[in-house]
Amino acid sequence: MDVTQTKANPVVSEAEWLKARQELLVLEKEETRLRDRVRAARRALPWVRVEKDYVFDTPQGKRRFGELFEGRSQLLLNHFMFGPDWEAGCVGCSFFSDHVDAMLPHLNHHDVTYIAVSRAPLEKIAAYKQRMGWKFPWVSSFGSDFNFDFHVSFTPDDLAKETIRYNFTDLPREAGHDELPGMSAFYRDRDGQIFHTYSQFARGGEEMSGTLMALDRAPLGRNEGSTMDFVKRHDEYANTPASDQSCCH
């Protein structure tokens, strides 16, 4: 990527920089406190019982929704954009998924199962997963109402309407697509009842991407014209990093 700086930041003395940095620290602390309040409100959301007995295609055969928890009480489910007729998974979903495998031992130890779900047939999922080198569990909801019930997949009839329902809002149909991204959380109690506890869509999951959080601290930030326009699948970048030299070699 050709990274160019659009404006020059002022160059100041160390004392002036420290004053500006202390002013920014006040905002950062406000952000941290607000984030803590948002997280508390998220945990306090009421739950909805999942009444449908969804069935998914998995490498181990047909599995009911409750079996996706793998014996744990909590499930984080990534609505990965990969339609039945697509040849590859969504670029943005793939970018996020590059961060997942390292999280799995920590999530599992904390009684949380992570899984990706797409409408693509299992054989397409398996081939793309192998191409990307991922290990996280990924199942197909092909032939199920699951994606439609959670408002991340849309039929041609849906897209022909004046509005579509996405991110808890009625959006103009121009904003629609046959597949859209999201993440949902579920809880399974000791009696096997499943509850939908939370969902996020659109840019709601950005803070779960370590790369975006790192870029936000780099001198030029994300340096994007539109949201994540710099992202490619990790095997599609044309150029290697500018230098392979490192003080740590």
- For the cut 70, the answer to whether the pLDDT of residue 39 exceeds it is yes
For residue range 64-120, list pLDDT tens digits in order. Answer: 999 999 999 999 999 999 999 999 999 999 999 999 999 999 999 999 999 999 999
pLDDT above 80 (res 247):
no
pLDDT score for 4:
56
Tell me what pLDDT residue 242 has. Answer: 55
Could you tell me if 76 and 70 are in contact, meaning their C-beta atoms sit under 8 angstroms apart?
no
Average pLDDT score over residue span 47-57: 97
pLDDT in tens, 134-171: 999 999 999 999 999 999 999 999 999 999 999 999 99
What pLDDT band is residue 238 in, cutting at 50, 70 and 90? confident
Say if residue 240's pLDDT is above 70: no
Pick the more confident residue, 227 or 145: 145
Spatial CA neighbour of 182 closest among 232, 116, 98:
116
For residue 225, CA distances in Å to 6, 67, 92, 112, 228 come to: 11, 42, 15, 36, 8
Per the prediction, the chain carries an average pLDDT of 92
User: Can you give the pLDDT at residue 227?
Assistant: 87
Confidence band of 126 (pLDDT split at 50, 70, 90): very high
Q: Residue 226 pLDDT > 90, yes or no?
A: no
Q: What is the pLDDT of residues 165-217, one digit of tens each?
A: 999 999 998 888 999 999 999 999 999 999 999 999 998 888 889 999 999 99
Residues 6+ apart with CB under 8 A from 164: 154, 158, 170, 171, 173, 175, 176
| pLDDT of 249 above 80 | no
**CB under 8 Å to 49, separation ≥6 — which residues?**
193, 194, 195, 196
Q: Is the pLDDT of residue 12 over 60?
A: yes
